Amino acid sequence: MPRTALVTGAARGLGAGIARLLSADHDVWVGGSTADSVAGISDELISARPWPVDLTDADALAAAAANITSLDVLVHNAGVADLGTVETLTLADWRHTFEANVFAVAELTRLLLPALRAAGGHVVLINSGAGIRANPGWSAYAASKFALRAFGDALRLEEPTLRVTSVHPGRIDTDMQRAIVAGEGEEYDASKYLTVETVARAVRQAVDTPADAHPTEIVLRTR
């Protein structure tokens, strides 16, 4: 029986790259905000099921998670990057960032704990270099990623039958990165950033780590 995986934010970018690699030997639930957004990647993969849901809608999330009874891999990839200084970021900005990057992750994990326990599963948290250090203009985003790291550390200790891996990549060549660079007023140069394929392979390697080892943290930087 194939193993199962759920990848959030899998409609494009890193999430799609991870879903592609996992689909070689997993039935993949392809997470995205709408049915249209996940249709393309779902049709492309060998074995995939669309899983469209607004992760910040608690009722919709609970209904979607109820369909999953056993889960080998849960990849929390979806997230937002609301950038700005402490002076310019509003309370709404902070709430939006934490709703997507922390609260949705915590709630989805809670809902899927029975399925993960049933499979002796693996939770992969796509964090960031900002989850290790904070830079000017990144306060809300970095704070959410520091919180995500703490969540992973606690989950790892609370659920000894599961593996929990925090992945901290540097900046990745994605559409989100292009938007960030445009907001910074800089010219985009893809060669400055990690490729989606490189980071996706690191996630796949963590998933493939033999059962006697627990890959707790992966940090990737551009050379």
**Reduced 3-state DSSP string for 72-130:** CEEEECCCCCCCECCCCCCHHHHHHHHHHHHHHHHHHHHHHHHHHHHHCCEEEEECCHH
Domain range list for the chain: 3-218
What is the tens place of the pLDDT at every residue in 150-201? 999 999 999 999 999 999 998 888 778 788 877 777 888 888 889 999 999 9
Q: In what order do the strands lie in the sheet with 3-7?
A: 48-52, 26-32, 3-7, 73-76, 122-126, 163-169, 217-220
What is the tens place of the pLDDT at every residue in 20-53? 999 999 999 999 999 999 999 999 998 899 999 9
Phi, psi of 12 (to 5 degrees): -160, 180
CATH 3.40.50.150 fits 3-218, yes or no: no
What integer is the mean pLDDT of 136-157?
97
